[in-house]
Structure 1
Amino acid sequence: MFTIEEINQNQHLLPNHTLGFRFMDSCLSEVVALQDTLLLLSGGNRTVPNYKCETQLILAGIIGELYSSVSEVMARILGVYRIPQISISAQHPMLSDKHQFPSFLRTFPAATLLPQAIAKLLYHFNWTWVGILFSNTDLSSLQSQKIRQHMVENGGCVAFLEKIDDRYPNDRLVKVAEVILQSSATVIVCLCYEMHLKPILELVSFREITAKVWVFSSSFTINPHMFTRESWRLLNGSLVFIGSTNDIPHFTNFLYHVWSFTYPWGTFSKLFWEKAFGCQWEVQNLTHVVTGKDIIPCTGEEDLKALDPAIFQLNDLSTTYHAYLAVYAYAHALHNMISVEPMEDNFEIDTNIHNIKPWQVLQYLWDVRFTTESKEEVYFDLNGDVPAVFDILNIQIYPDDSSQTPRSDCSESCFVGYRKSSRMGYSTCCFDCVPCSTGEIANETDTTECWKCPEDQWPNESRDKCLPKVIEFLSYQEPLGAALATIAVILSLTSILSLIIFYLFQDTPIVRANNRGLSYLLLGNLTLCFLCSLTFVGFPTKLTCMIRQPAFGFIFTVSVSCILAKTVTVIIAFKAVNPHNQLRKWVGPKIPNLILIFCSFIQLLICTIWIASHPSFPENNTRTESGKIIIECNEGLTILFYCMLGYMGFLAIISFIVAFLARRLPDSFNEAKFITFSMLVFVSVWLSFIPAYLSTQGKYMVAVEIFTILSSGAGLLFLIFLPKCYIILLQPEMNTKEYLTGKNTTHK
């Protein structure tokens, strides 16, 4: 009514022409809509298919219906005669099929993209755990499945999917209400009509329920008067998709002046008047609102502005606005027909608008393109649809002090450093958060897997980023490395000092007594033993890794061989005192040199094979200790390393046994006692080395080996040579041939 009046007063649109209208109420019934459509086509009060009984009927087109099911019934009949029909609310995608509905158009967006739009809204707010209610219609069922599909593609899940209808038995409605109450989902998508949701909300309102956010499709009409006070409050904060709506200038003022005296034929106006003011028109009671003695006569002078503005439902003018666009679409099509050249010479248009045919109006409707006062461009595509643009309406019933977006997820988000672990028997959106494994990070929330750090990096404490690993080796700059290096230098200097003392007093009996050449060689080797431990300190290089173990093994073997040779020398010297002993011919350097060369050669052969075939090399060990890169020497073929140690230990045990057997020789040859103690220390140290070496890692493993080298070498140095140096320097009277042979001893 408003739009037609506005067009009739417009001097630039259909000038000198007047549009009229006729209301027909389908009562939302397909049967009534079919009957009224046939009456409209036949004219008069009788339905006569294929006959027009009213000569003056000038029909340009039809506007309606609200619902897709009713629109479909009308469109199938009207399409036969190519009579245009523009729906202001029907959304079913099927109606876009021009083979079935060739004359159907609509100003309300088709529901084709609505499921995708709702899914994008859910994804935008990160609502991954939602319930879905849908009305018992084909369109709602189809939309619910598409939303479910879009949610799964975006990583979301559907907590429940329930069909509703106000005609369902009460026990079925109670079951749906229980599902809503027990679900942890705080967001519910409702693809339903308000009358279908009404009984569900009433059942839910009787129980305490946490706040839910309802997301309604465009089929839901915002009508607070349909719900109880308690159930309506449950919808606070909800979101409603509506067709794109703009301002309709002067429409509000028009509403306040629509009354029966302005439009005396307006049955709708009288119905509204009686319901709004609780009055009754004279000789009429259209709504049966008041009866008996309480009858208040309607005067027509009641003040509409005194009513609650909500009674006009101005909070949702989406349907009203699209009716406004539909009337203007017809007006522009008619205007183009009488003022523009004929379309491609397909037919000629009579300048008299009374002679136009509906199928001619349909042809011009396809090319209609106009701009409303609110600067919105309106046109129809090949399917008779307008561009799909939706507005989102937020229902605010009472003030909400909270400005935070509600959460709706089955499980709390996993923070960085954690990954999602699915719960057995639950949806993929229900999960537990478990920390990343050792050496892995997660720098995103809600990730399903953690990532390994590179070999040279390690996770920080929160396991959300990789940090460079600590590089570890036995350095000269740290206290342990510096202390061991200092001890090694001191012991080597002590060995050199002992060698100097022996050299300066080389002609004294105590130096000459036990093969001074072997003593010089032993002291020189001990010096090298202490110095070779320095190759274990500092950053491992290819050269130091290759030579340090073979060098230490060979030098120590030479030292032990010297001790074995010295012990054998003592035994031969003692036995050779007897003139009849066959060992007299072996007295001299021949046997000791042979022992020294033979025993050392075997170790030299082992070390040569080791270096030639599988030499040690530096490597970065990232496996042994978390968060560290241990720079160490890989021993290559480990069995050769233990062969070297085993052979050295074998010689040490032989030397210990031989020295032990010679410990009771006369005082003149008492060096065997010191060798026995020194070899006991040597063997004990190296036997304890193996378990200690295998139970440590990194720089402490190296420190254990250095300590073993230094302590075993120090045992040989101090137990064998310290007593002799003491006699040479502090007890010179004991460093005589008579004292050593015992001839100056006084017997009592």
Structure 2
Amino acid sequence: MDGDFTIGGIFSIHNYVHTVNNNYTTMPEPVRCSGSMESRELRFSRAMIFAIEQINNSTDLLPRIKLGYQIYDSCASVLVAVHVAFQFLNSLDPVFYIGNNCSQSGMVMAVVGESGSTPSISLSRVISSFKVPQVSHFATCACLSDKQQYPNFFRTIPSDKFQAGALAKMVKHFGWTWIGAVRSDSDYGNNGMASFLQAAQKEGICVEYSVSFYRTHPHSRIQRVADVIRRSTAMVIVAFAAIGDMAILLEELSHNPSPPRQWIGSEAWVTSPELMRYSFCAGAVGFGIQKSLIPGLRDFLLNLSPSQVAASALLTEFWEDAFNCTLKKSAAATKNNVCDGKEDILNLQSPYTDTSQLRITNMVYKAVYAIAHAIHNAVCQRKNVTSQCDKLTRLESKQVLNQLKTVHFSQNGNDMSFNDNGDPVAIYELVNWQKSKSGDVKMVSVGLYDASLPVGQEFRINRNITWMEGTTKVPVSVCSASCPPGTRKMLQKGKPICCYDCIPCPEGEISNTTDSSDCLPCHKEFWPNAKRDTCIPKPVEFLSFQDILGIILATFSVLGACLAIITGAVFFYHRTSPIVRANNSELSFLLLISLTLCFLCSLTFIGAPSDWSCMLRHTAFGITFVLCISCVLGKTIVVLMAFKATLPGSNVMKWFGPPQQRMTVVSFTFIQVLICTIWLVLSPPFPIKNLTTYKEKIILECDLGSPVGFWAVLGYIGLLASFCFVLAVLARKLPDNFNEAKFITFSMLIFCAVWITFIPAYVSSPGKFTVVVEIFAILASSFGLIMCIFAPKCFIILFKPEQNTKKNLMNKNQS
């Protein structure tokens, strides 16, 4: 149709080009389309005509200016698209103005189309050199946003860059990490899938396979793609394919259906009603352009007069295919298949007449209005409240191109503008193929994706989704099940990162998140729980008064102290008896006091270590034991000196009387006090948390501070004990009826045996058992002393009083 300014239109109304075998001897035939007609694409072209007629009747947009159009069928072919491009450009020759009837009807100011990305690329490369703007309604390849290569390209449908990102977010949202990918082997499919795979990789999604196909490929190639889908383990398939390609693949799969698969579709096919006849795809989910309402369009589409249909080859083909009749009488036509004019288009079920899902149709509608607004801004001036337009203005396509960059309008409640790349704001509906009660598959909008919203808020679902096989439970598609907390992922050799084994965290480490790739070590004072998903404080261990061992040792310690006190009481009560007086009662009482302190000092080893208890336990033990051994040593020397004093002419006892005995005890004890004082001043013991002996618990213990000090204390005790033992051995065969040296020998033998075995046991005992060994040595040696030295005397005092006489003690056993 002619007009003051002409808009070009190009749509993929057919999907194939008639194949011609040229013999290079005759002129090639004109390129012709073949195959069945895409009724939806016919609706797109009719929507363009509707929009132009609506604009021509408008008093606000381009008043008194008539737009014309030239619409072509590209056959979804690059060859035809390039041919059409030159058709548009042939009318750019100068126009002569003759008289008052000036016309620019032959000039194409802009082009609407193409539907496919690959033909759009070819079209843009040709017409961009002539500054002719192109506004596509369905070419979504992200590559077309490159203004260096395609400076004249605009589109009313969002770029696949946004759709690919949205699809990746959706796949991640539902927890699918193991998917299959199929795509059209075209610019649309290859670039779209590349964008999706890039976004999917960032989301941690793995692809089991990625295969491509095209509708013109051999049938064997389509079969191979179908076989890959049937053999795959991925339950989810993302398909970035054109509607014509997808129809061929689904047809192949329908012959030998694969196991149930969850299909995720791109806009090109998931909103196509024609593909919903493949019921095995029920549950498919994908993003589509928002559904819109275009008032008056349905009436325009259905208002086809016989003359209109007959005047258009495309409408004629549509009519004959829709009603299975022939408009033109011919020899081949019969009376039964000739169109008689009674065909009812109002009740025709066809994508052409279906206006319930106006998505891409609205993109065509907005593309026409965008071009019209650009022309309006170039040729019209606003005066008062009306616009004055001059149709005689010499308008060039590059002016329309510049105006398109800044165009902004609202039509039927939808805002429209282009960004610097010629793309609109990306807003998608999330659509779901759901089976109705009648068994038909219908497309239902279940959510929305708005790329203009803040990160993390773009995607929302507002209705329940029906998945494959009619279930409402989200299908699972993973290579490996999620690793629970307490484990970490270990990648399987030679497989993608989504294929892994779950191995427990090593000792001392945890993971508190699902699918953790690493385990984290606990703080040194914490330890993993049984599930190894959280760190808990390590139990603190020390020898306490609540432990069974602590109770037993404390009981023996108190019993030993009580026994020493009772022994002292018995001796005190019988202090005038010969046996008490004969055995140096002063040293005996001092020995009993020191033994009582030895028993009680073991209590300082029980309980939580503190600064004072650590210093007290070792020094008290060292000093009381030296006091004890000093007393025993004094008694041994007294026995030896007493025997020497009985010899004729001996005057030895005056040199080792009570003052000398006291001085000996004090001197020996003072040396130990001096050692302990130096130890405490230079490097005293202190409490520590032992984290190395046991990994899973903390041992509270006393650090020696200076091991030299500790072993000096023990060494001094050992030196005195050894000296005492030697003297006792020398005095064991003295001829007294009651020879105390024998019992001292036994007591020192026990004492030395206990402390000799103590050293290896102390060094090798772990944790609190080190303290147990030390307490046991103290108690054992203390009981050895009290039982060997005082038990025989108490037995005579209490049970054999007849032997407690001076006469019995003075008798000598001749050996």
Question: Does 2:161 correspond to 1:108?
Answer: no
**Superposed counterparts of 1:536-551, under 5 Å:** 536-551=605-620
Taking a change above 3 Å as real, the CA distance of residues 183 and 560 of structure 1, as seen in their structure-2 partners, is farther
**1:324: how far off?**
1.2
1:88 to 123, 132, 137: 137
Aligned to 2:321: 275
Q: How does 1:339-358 map to 2 (within 5 A)?
A: 339-341=380-382, 351-352=390-391, 357-358=396-397
When structure 1 is superposed on structure 2, of 422-431 and 1-10 the one drifting more is 1-10
Deviation of 1:108 after TM superposition, in Å, equals 1.9
Residue 120 of structure 1 is matched in structure 2 by: 169
Cα deviation, 1:63-107, whole Å, max 9, x if unaligned, reads: 221123322333334334333332211233444455554443222
Distance 2:606 2:747 in 1: 26
State how far apart, in whole Å, the 1-side matches of 2:651 and 2:731 are.
18
Whether 1:635 and 2:704 are equivalent positions in the alignment is yes
SS in 1 for 2:619: helix
Deviates more, 1:660-669 or 1:442-451: 660-669
Is the Cα contact below 8 Å between 1:260 and 1:266 reproduced in 2? no
Shift of 1:322: 0.9
Amino acid at match of 2:138: S
**One-letter identity of the residue aligned with 2:780:** S
Residues 686, 209 of structure 1: CA spacing in aligned structure 2 closer, same or farther, 3 A cutoff? farther
Does the C-alpha gap of structure 1 residues 171 and 607 become closer, same or farther in structure 2, counting only changes over 3 Å? farther
Q: Tell me, yes or no, if the aligned pair for 2:510 and 2:520 is still in contact at 8 Å.
A: yes
Q: Deviations over 1:682-737 (max 9, x none)?
A: 34443454455455444444334323322321221123112212323443332211
Q: CA deviation at 1:536?
A: 1.4
Give, in whole Å, the separation in 2 of the partners of 1:262 and 1:526. Answer: 128
Distance 1:592 1:312, change over 3 A: farther
Deviations 1:443-490 (A, max 9, x none): 222222233333444433333333344343333455654553344233
User: What secondary structure is seen at the aligned counterpart in 2 of 1:248?
Assistant: coil
Alignment CA distance shift 1:259-1:438 (3 Å): farther
How far apart are the structure 1 equivalents of 2:248 and 2:729?
Answer: 105
Structure 1 position 249, deviation (Å):
3.1
Partner of 2:369: 328
Shift of 1:292: 7.7
Q: Secondary structure at the match of 2:337?
A: coil
Give the structure 1 partner of residue 592 of structure 2.
Answer: 523
Compared CA separation, residues 321 and 491, structure 1 to 2 (3 A): same
Query: In structure 1, how many angstroms separate the alpha carbons of the residues matched to 2:218 and 2:108?
Result: 45
Distance in 2 of aligned mates of 1:56 and 1:480:
110
Query: Which residue pairs with 1:266 in the alignment?
Result: 312
Which residue identity is paired with 1:379?
A: S
Name the structure 1 match of 2:518: 449
- Contact map agreement 2:239 2:264 (CA 8 A) in 1: yes
Whole-angstrom CA distance in 1 between matches of 2:491 and 2:525: 31
Q: Which amino acid counterpart does residue 156 of structure 1 have in structure 2?
A: I
Provide Cα deviations, 1:327-377, integer angstroms capped at 9, x if missing partner: 2223334444554259xxxxx99723697554454444344322121x111
Measured against aligned partners, the alpha-carbon deviations of 1:384-431 in whole angstroms (never above 9, x if no partner) come to: 332233333323356654323333332222222222233333332222
Structure 1 unmatched ranges of 5 or more: 44-48, 286-290, 343-347
Q: Which amino acid in 1 is paired with 2:315?
A: S
Go from structure 1 to structure 2 and tell me whether the alpha carbon gap of 1:698 and 1:592 turns closer, same or farther (over 3 Å shift).
same
Picking from 480, 485, 489, the partner of 2:558 is 489
3-state SS of paired residue (1:61): strand
Alignment of 1:10-29 (within 5 A): 10-16=58-64, 18-29=66-77
SS at match of 1:24: strand
Alignment map for 1:689-704 (pairs within 5 Å): 689-690=758-759, 692-694=761-763, 696-704=765-773
2:344 equivalent in structure 1: 303
Deviates most, 299-308 or 608-617:
299-308
Over 3 Å counting, the alpha-carbon distance change for 1:72 and 1:732 in structure 2 is closer
Q: Quote the Cα distance in structure 2 between the aligned partners of 1:673 and 1:235.
A: 104
Helix, strand or coil for the counterpart of 2:790? helix
Looking at structure 1, the residues matched to 763 and 279 of structure 2 have their Cα atoms a distance apart, in angstroms, of 74
- Give the distance between the partners of 2:231 and 2:713, measured in 1 at CA: 74
Residues 264 and 328 (structure 1), Cα distance of their counterparts in 2 relative to 1, 3 Å cut: farther
| 1:147 corresponds to | 196
TM-score (norm 1): 0.84
Separation (CA, whole Å) in 1 of partners of 2:151 and 2:351: 39
Q: Does 1:36 align with 2:74?
A: no
Distance 2:77 2:228 in 1: 32
- Hey, what's the Cα distance between the residues in 2 that align with 1:172 and 1:16? 56
Question: 1: CA distance between counterparts of 2:493 and 2:771?
Answer: 49
The alignment yields a C-alpha RMSD, in angstroms, of 3.9
Equivalent residue in structure 1 for 2:422, among 380, 384, 391: 384
Decide whether the 8 Å contact of 1:259 with 1:300 is kept in 2: no
Flag the 1:148–1:83 CA change in 2: closer, same or farther, 3 A. closer
Tell me the distance in 1 between the aligned counterparts of 2:501 and 2:692: 29
Deviates more, 1:163-172 or 1:21-30: 163-172
User: What is the distance in 1 between the residues matched to 2:806 and 2:473?
Assistant: 104
Q: 1:565 to 1:339 in 2, by over 3 A?
A: same
The corresponding residue for 1:720 is 789
Q: Tell me: CA distance 1:175–1:516, structure 2 relative to 1, closer, same or farther (3 Å).
A: farther
> Pairwise mapping of residues 542-581 of structure 1 onto structure 2 (< 5 A)?
542-574=611-643, 577-579=646-648
Q: Identify the residue that residue 370 of structure 1 maps to in structure 2.
A: 409
Letter in 2 for 1:443: N
Judge which range, 713-722 or 75-84, deviates more. Answer: 75-84
SS of aligned partner of 1:679: helix
Q: Secondary structure at the match of 1:386?
A: coil
Cα distance in 2 between the residues matched to 1:588 and 1:29: 131
Contact 1:260-1:269 within 8 A present in 2 as well = no
1:161 to 195, 210, 217: 210
Q: For residues 125 and 80 of structure 1, what CA distance do their matches in structure 2 show? A: 46
1:191 paired residue number: 240
Q: 1:299 to 1:527 in 2, by over 3 A?
A: same
Give the Cα separation in 2 of the matches to 1:645 and 1:623: 26
Tell me, in whole angstroms, the C-alpha distance in 2 between the residues paired with 1:175 and 1:638: 80
Q: Distance in 2 between matches of 1:721 and 1:205?
A: 106
What is the identity, as a one-letter code, of the residue corresponding to 1:296? N
Preserved contact between residue 178 and residue 205 of structure 2 (Cα < 8 Å): yes
- Check 1:602–1:309 CA distance in 2 against 1; reply closer, same or farther (3 A cut): farther
Q: 1:260·1:270 contact (CA, 8 Å) conserved in 2?
A: no
> How many Å separate the matches in 1 of 2:78 and 2:569?
124
Read off the aligned partner of 2:207 and give its amino acid letter. V
Give 1:241's aligned residue.
287
Question: Whole-Å Cα distance in 2 between the matches of residues 237 and 725 of structure 1?
Answer: 99
Instruction: State the secondary structure of the residue aligned to 1:447.
Output: coil
Instruction: Considering fraction of residues, name the structure with more strand.
Output: 2
Residue 802 of structure 2 aligns with which residue?
A: 733
Q: Is the 8 A contact 2:188 2:241 kept in 1?
A: no
350 and 225 in structure 1: CA distance in 2 versus 1, 3 angstrom threshold:
closer
Number of the residue aligned with 1:46: none
| C-alpha distance after superposition, 1:237-286 (max 9, x if no partner) | 3333334442323434544444645544233333223223322223269x
Provide the residue aligned with 1:742 in structure 2.
811
Q: Report the equivalent of 1:64.
A: 113
Q: Matched residue pairs, number?
A: 725
Encode CA deviations 1:287-316: one digit per residue, 9 max, x unaligned.
xxxx78795232343334555466756676
CA distance in 2, matches of 1:200, 1:216: 13
Distance (whole Å) between structure 2 residues aligned to residue 24 and residue 166 of structure 1: 22
1:125/1:459 Cα in 2 relative to 1: closer, same or farther (>3 Å)? same
